[in-house]
Structure 1
């Protein structure tokens, strides 16, 4: 396609150009994103997954964090998300550094995909090329997405929202059953891909938005009967999409049931990152409260959670549609339901995003299901962001060169903006103590306002003229440059060689590292990763050496800590209790956990740390006698007593032989023959009956074979694994074989085949 002003369609090039421009310094200089979750979660997870695949193991289990944790069930790993397979291809070619670099490439592709989907949706709504591209840039380059770019799964999920809305619109327009079947298949595929993309919260908010959209789209065409029909078809497409994603959803559901969020997140946790009301000002001045890219952010909480900027011109265009909502202004009547829906969704989303700052979300948290599932209500701002982006499309479509009163008002605005610039400069000079972000943000917003006024005055009267096409280019370029400048520096990168070392496929047998909660937070956010300043504080290699979880995966080292979003509840309770103990009282607990190294901050003011060895830790241990309990609470109480009093017993949740002569020492030999992520082979010789305990977290799906006989793994010492042994020499094989693996995989294949059949059925001409 030639890049020429004479082809308005070429405006679509900007939908990939600006995401690429924003991340070109990272992509073209051989760097990879590093700040926060790229280094602490996503890249280590995928690195470990590939290392296991390369060794012939399916990546079901992470042996390196949290004394063992589910890996495939970790939703944000998104192992089955097809676009993410590019990362494993790159890792196969160039190792982990290439895979780390590929995350940025895939990120750019998803931002472009989000923009293109939004543009196609606007086209389906009957609006022109400029409207399509303005909306596409406003959503895809919005700070809601760009400031969160390091949370890869969020971007992957959000990119599918406009495509789902587009399929619903197309479904509403179809009149034949065959064509509706095709649209339904396409909708199911899009929903399935979004469910596989790895972020449950953004996906849930997107599907809620899409469900409400379907009611409005159906009602606009055929009244309430049409609304009910389209909502039902949309629900069917979403259900089929969930079937496609079964291979991921089923193990994740099991993990959720076993996790610290099994019932609901706590009120305080759920309200974390409620949208700070003052950040509504950043709709026109994104750095009004500073910007961590410049090292001067001073606003509430983290910058990215409240980031909502969609560009000064798009937000102005969106608000210009308010007069079109209720009054007839020459617009097609069919557009008004969409305008009303978008404004309603923007308002509702903003109210929900405010979280604890209004009584609404706390009420919903206590009384309405699903509102107690996630933290960070601010993420509901995806509703206002997509709504305002689409409203901007309607605004630019209805925009005409100002005349009459509008022209007089615009001419009066220009000197006002110039006065604002002068006044801000004088304020900075006269009141040096004022926050500098107030000044430069105000000046920049006023300068952008002057450019908007200039563009308005230069708009040609004839919409179809070459001059208008050139003007459209200036408008689209202005929107893209504004958003690219706002997003600059939000995603720090370093040399991709930071990720150079390969992980191992199994946990080293020498023991685990433990880092207490306070030291972990101090190292993360006091020394290395500061919310107020993204600029490099010191060498990123120092971050790597600190072994902050889950960076330990990069070196194949085991850590008792875990930075996964979902963790087994018993593990979580154990770690929370251990964190409350003094350093001395913590020692017997750490030995029970198989910890042989303890890391702690020694000088909080300088954030310096030291690693001390801990002798006596054992991952595998034989106990001649056991204490049996009936439930988890009793097991926890007995475990505390046994560890704190130094009693040589194992606590088993269940029934069995407690043993005799418990004061006699056993003569046991335990040799590890194989230690892989999902398979452990032990050679054990004991001179009496008893129990073997393993300092790895108990989790459904783990099984033990003793000399060829299957034995159930018991819950030992509240959180770990135990199995009974008779006197003698035994070969013990401990494997992770979850019951859901093949059924969930087959179910996904069935769902995928159904969706593909429906999709191609709709593409076939009815007469064929």
Structure 2
């Protein structure tokens, strides 16, 4: 057991090392990962680490967007065990940007190892398994996704197929636990759209495999019952491990913009079916980075591998399905499914379907490679004819395409690599043993060189290493808790999430609230709204507009953020209440009022008692700032001496999981000032505590812990079920 684990870890490291070698500029430090990796995921990895250091659960993040439910956003991956490895590394070796590179390489290793083990379990040779693993993790889609959350779920697709086939062929409690654990990892990793796409590719493979097993089983009904039992156990594992995320997300979802995803955004794609030919040579028919490129040799081997075999035909059908889905509005399939089939209309960026295309082509290519490696002498001549029938026309077609190619250099190189690859693969059919032994590593080397050269556009996409001097400057602005910053260059920096700086802006994801998105759009050019949100310093690209709307109440030094001198405190008492009837009216009214002097409340949230209390307020007293007693991620404590009955405004975002106690008695948490919290208080001194916890979350976390423990014990202690000869993996492989 220990030897197998060590061998698996070594193999995973090989895949990660080769992937990193394909991106030498990252190794030398000239560039780093781009886009989401640094801008979003770096912060998402550090927020839980900081919370756990402080003895808190990372439920609420108060350091961005005025505060939001951190656990409810699936992309944060709080309950994903492989994120815990990254936290551990950051805790030991430091919190620099290297942590996101480590996470990307970790997932490349997961995808490569899973593909390799799947192919080996199907009975393929070690060289064919390696070829398939490299074809998947070095594909253009995976290489580009090193910068985004899109990478995390798709690398679990090989593991879903591996454990799913095991469950279908040898149903048992152990195989049910393994399949459930792999599925839960794909879900918890943090990108639900690609988890859904994983299931789209998994379903036909398992259905065909089940049909093949049942057809050859002597007791088909009994076998189906065992599969149903193991499948039910797998579903229970997935639900148990995903329950906290589901509970938190469902509680937060009604506040978000997710339900307003436009249909055009769901189906928009720049890919077209004709662009499948770009898989032979990037740029032949389209401009731009080759996001679906996985090597002409791999693609042609996949075509070579297709024959009258149910699973191979299923792999080919899945590859074609994913390519056509990735075409989005360039082909009729995805628009039809998005309109008529639940699930397909929930996700944007159809290009993410290219992950499934890359995986299934890689699996087919490995089968084709294995056919050549293990070719019997009697079949070599027939296989040589089939190989020539696939590779020779492709090479000639690329040479002809040189005349009108958009990238003639790439097209010419494509022809060269197709010819070289075909020659190396042809060597596997030679009658000379020495030539056959050298042909497999030579073919793999040519395929790797082809990927390295032809996919260089993908490998070169990166950003400069992050400049931490800006982080340090913003982190040093005054009291982090008493005042907030507004950094509207959040796509580049997100200082709040990483450094514990309270930022009113942040990542504009699909799970942001409707109110925050509207507030952020107005506040970028309105100093009054920023000041009303407890913002003391503005840093970003709208400095002139912010200064103009500050009406002289600001200070600015070249090279420094704008300081707003009239910012509202973190919390304050006021008896001056402005009632509005509609949600949108609250934002407009807040923009018209002096910051920190009044409370804008929505009448629709009041019951009879609250409405009567508000109607009796006397606004003759000046506002009184509250005193902060404790500030934590999931808890806030304040004291205030109110001269009369009024409203305590807390400039932290409202959320459905917040509860409050005023002098020990429960009190409703109202929406105040459009985005923030408010509490009705009577005259005199008060101690106020606010605490965050989505309903039923504690029970869900207990279920998660118990399920994780049972899965771990079961996978260690339960024996493997050995199937009959009819269920053996090699008998099921082509």
Q: TM-score, normalised by structure 2?
A: 0.82
Contact 2:301 2:369 in 1 (8 A): yes
Residues 496-536 of structure 1, C-alpha deviations (whole Å, 9 max, x = no match): 88498697999532233153xxxx5xx96xxxxxxxxxxxx
Aligned to 1:557: 501
Measured in 2, the distance between the counterparts of 1:416 and 1:260 equals 47
- Are the structure 2 counterparts of residues 667 and 594 from structure 1 closer, same or farther at C-alpha, using a change threshold of 3 Å? closer
- Are the structure 2 counterparts of residues 764 and 454 from structure 1 closer, same or farther at C-alpha, using a change threshold of 3 Å? closer
Aligned to 1:21: 21
Whether 1:445 aligns to 2:414 is yes
* Aligned match for 1:126, one of 102, 109, 123: 123
Aligned to 1:315: 299
Measured in 2, the distance between the counterparts of 1:441 and 1:491 equals 18
Aligned to 2:196: 204
3-state SS, counterpart of residue 650 of structure 1: strand
* Aligned match for 1:147, one of 144, 149, 153: 144
Measured in 2, the distance between the counterparts of 1:420 and 1:367 equals 39
Measured in 2, the distance between the counterparts of 1:418 and 1:277 equals 21
- Are the structure 2 counterparts of residues 93 and 68 from structure 1 closer, same or farther at C-alpha, using a change threshold of 3 Å? same
Measured in 2, the distance between the counterparts of 1:364 and 1:32 equals 40
Aligned to 1:745: 701
Contact 1:149 1:155 in 2 (8 A): yes
Residues 138-164 of structure 1, C-alpha deviations (whole Å, 9 max, x = no match): 11221111111112x433322221111
Aligned to 1:545: none
Aligned to 1:80: 79
* Aligned match for 2:571, one of 598, 609, 620: 620
Contact 2:72 2:248 in 1 (8 A): yes
- CA shift, 1:273, in A, is 4.0
Measured in 1, the distance between the counterparts of 2:236 and 2:390 equals 55
Measured in 1, the distance between the counterparts of 2:678 and 2:394 equals 75
Residues 692-733 of structure 1, C-alpha deviations (whole Å, 9 max, x = no match): 112221102222222222322112233321001111122222
Contact 1:64 1:506 in 2 (8 A): no
Unmatched tracts of structure 2, length 5 or more? 1-9, 546-557, 723-734
Whether 1:472 aligns to 2:440 is yes
- CA shift, 1:593, in A, is 2.4
Measured in 2, the distance between the counterparts of 1:339 and 1:741 equals 44
- CA shift, 1:91, in A, is 2.0
Measured in 1, the distance between the counterparts of 2:265 and 2:649 equals 34
- CA shift, 1:594, in A, is 2.5
Whether 1:266 aligns to 2:262 is yes
Q: TM-score, normalised by structure 1?
A: 0.78
- CA shift, 1:112, in A, is 2.7
Aligned to 2:211: 219
Aligned to 2:6: none
Measured in 2, the distance between the counterparts of 1:24 and 1:54 equals 35
Measured in 2, the distance between the counterparts of 1:231 and 1:142 equals 35
Aligned to 1:590: 530
Residues 231-265 of structure 1, C-alpha deviations (whole Å, 9 max, x = no match): 7744641442231232333323333343211x352
3-state SS, counterpart of residue 512 of structure 1: strand
Aligned to 1:600: 541
Unmatched tracts of structure 1, length 5 or more? 1-9, 291-297, 326-335, 428-433, 525-547
- Are the structure 2 counterparts of residues 113 and 467 from structure 1 closer, same or farther at C-alpha, using a change threshold of 3 Å? farther
- The root-mean-square deviation of aligned C-alpha atoms, in Å, is 3.8
Whether 1:43 aligns to 2:42 is yes
Measured in 2, the distance between the counterparts of 1:129 and 1:739 equals 50
Measured in 2, the distance between the counterparts of 1:88 and 1:592 equals 36
Residues 662-708 of structure 1, C-alpha deviations (whole Å, 9 max, x = no match): 45233524222333322322221221110011222110222222222
3-state SS, counterpart of residue 95 of structure 2: helix
- Are the structure 2 counterparts of residues 13 and 460 from structure 1 closer, same or farther at C-alpha, using a change threshold of 3 Å? farther
- CA shift, 1:423, in A, is 8.8
- Are the structure 2 counterparts of residues 161 and 410 from structure 1 closer, same or farther at C-alpha, using a change threshold of 3 Å? closer
- CA shift, 1:357, in A, is 2.0
- CA shift, 1:68, in A, is 0.9
Measured in 2, the distance between the counterparts of 1:551 and 1:277 equals 42
Measured in 1, the distance between the counterparts of 2:615 and 2:360 equals 67
Aligned to 2:112: 115
3-state SS, counterpart of residue 134 of structure 1: helix
